[in-house]
Amino acid sequence: MREPDISLTACSYSHVLDIISNKWTALVIYALEDGTIRYGEINRRIEGISQKMLTQTLKQLERDGLVSRKVTPSVPPVVDYTLTRLGESLIPYMKQLTEWASAHLAEVQHARAAYDSEALV
Tens of pLDDT, residues 17-64: 888 888 899 999 999 999 999 999 999 999 999 999 999 999 999 999
In order of 9, 28, 40, 74, 97, the CA distances from 13 in angstroms are: 10, 20, 32, 41, 14
Model pTM score: 0.82
Rounded to the nearest integer, the mean pLDDT of the chain is 92
Please give the radius of gyration of the chain, using alpha carbons only, rounded to the nearest integer.
19
Task: Give the residue among 80, 78, 57 at the shortest CA–CA distance from 69.
Answer: 80
The lowest-confidence range among 2-11, 52-61, 98-107, 111-120 is 2-11
pLDDT given at position 102: 95
SS3 72: strand
CA angle 115, 117, 118 (to 5 degrees): 65
